[in-house]
Amino acid sequence: MAQNGSWIKYVFKKVILRGAFLYSGCMVLNKYVGSIIFLTGDSMHPTIYDGDVVFTRTYNPRKHEIKKNDIVCVKSPTDRGILICKRVALLEHEYDNISFNDIRPSTRIAAGHCFLLGDNLYSSSDSRAFGPIPMGLIFSRVTYRIWPPNRIGFIEK
Amino acid sequence: MSTLWIITKRIGKVFGIISLPIAFCETIGHPASVVGASMEPTLRGNDARWWKNDIVWLSKIHKFPKNGEIFTYISPRDPKVHHVKRVTATPGEIIDVRNRPPMPLGPLEYWMLSDNAIVGEDSRYYGPVNIGLFQGKVVFILWPLSRFGSVD
């Protein structure tokens, strides 16, 4: 009977250990390589539709460079725990000619910040609402669409 | 059992063993070395000799930042750089600093100040820091042993 008990314990340990390996492996992949993300919402019509599934490449500021018109997933500056997916319209030091505002004169995007804009200007909450965001909030770049099958391919600039 | 499955299991196990400490560092915490004098006298990092700079334990398990706690975060000015400063105002509190009109902080914004006000860039320079930039909470000084213990 003691042998029976230790067999269960051994299997249990195997499940826990494999679970820990799997969890860690997925976390490392997500943090250092990229992920597969299911996108929702209309804010990126016509580039990205509701329900598209894409590959993303995690952003490492020391290795990668965010260029203008890249589509990025950023940690939302207004809602904790949500990733929002928008296009980088302006980079640091560029003049902000998008936030049309009679009160505020044309300002420059601060160092280390970028201005996000959804492709569907009518239905997108982006930097026009919450202002330029620090690049440290950028989590990944969207590279390739893998669903739906009729629109598989690299994301258009 | 096919050799393909055995190979997959082996690769998976190796990848898992390597990933486990990395995941630990990301979810539980890791030690980190202090650079710069902006948090003197609490944290010292201004010596070229590495063993003279403080080593602290950064915890990834923590509750929402409160006033007085020390956190590391990605600098809003340069995403390659991490800053370590103390929380002096939490969301909703009103900031009254020169050159800025008194305004309450947004729902996810924190005001970070250096303990050593003369040195270092902090919120007086780049404004409030969004919680999405926060990386870890400084809880313990691990080195030097003469100052081992909780911060403050």
pLDDT band at A84 (very low <50, low <70, confident <90, very high): very high
Task: Supply the pTM of this predicted model.
Answer: 0.89
> Looking at beta carbons, which residues of chain B come within 8 Å of A110?
76-77, 126
Q: What is the DSSP string of chain B?
A: --HHHHHHHHHHHHHHHHHHHHHHHHHTEEEEE--BSTTTTTS-B--SSGGGS-EEEEES---S--TT-EEEEE-SS-TT-EEEEEEEE-TTPEE--TTS--EE--TTEEEEE-SSTTSS--HHHH--EEGGGEEEEEEEEEESGGG-EE--
pLDDT by residue (tens digit) across A38-77?
999 999 988 999 999 999 999 999 999 999 999 999 999 9
Catalytic residues of A: 43, 86
pLDDT of A2 strictly over 60: no
pLDDT by residue (tens digit) across B72-82?
999 999 999 99
Helix A2-32 × helix B3-27 angle, to 10°: 70
Which chain B residue has the Cα nearest residue A111? B77
pLDDT of A103 strictly over 90: no
Nearest to B15 among A25, A112, A133 (CB): A25
Which chain A residue has the Cα nearest residue B74? A136
Yes or no, beta carbons of A77 and B23 under 8 Å apart: no
Nearest to B26 among A31, A110, A112 (CB): A31
Residues 72-131 of B with CB under 8 A from A: 73-80, 106-108, 126, 130-131
Structure-model confidence comparison of residues A13 and A44, the more confident one: A44
pLDDT of B120 strictly over 90: no
ipTM score of complex: 0.87
pLDDT of A104 strictly over 80: no
Residue the block writes with tokens 């990944």: A140
Look at residue B103 in the predicted model and tell me its pLDDT.
84
Q: Which of B64, B112, B130 to mutate to probe the A interface, most A CBs <10 Å? A: B130
Catalytic residues of B: 38, 85
Could you tell me which of B48, B135, B81 has the C-alpha nearest to residue A111?
A: B81
Q: Which of A16, A17, A24 to mutate to probe the B interface, most B CBs <10 Å? A: A24
pLDDT by residue (tens digit) across B106-115?
889 999 999 9
Flag whether residue B144 sits within 8 Å of chain A, measured between CB atoms: no
User: In chain A, what percentage of residues exceed pLDDT 90?
Assistant: 53
pLDDT of A1 strictly over 60: no
Residue the block writes with tokens 């679970």: A19
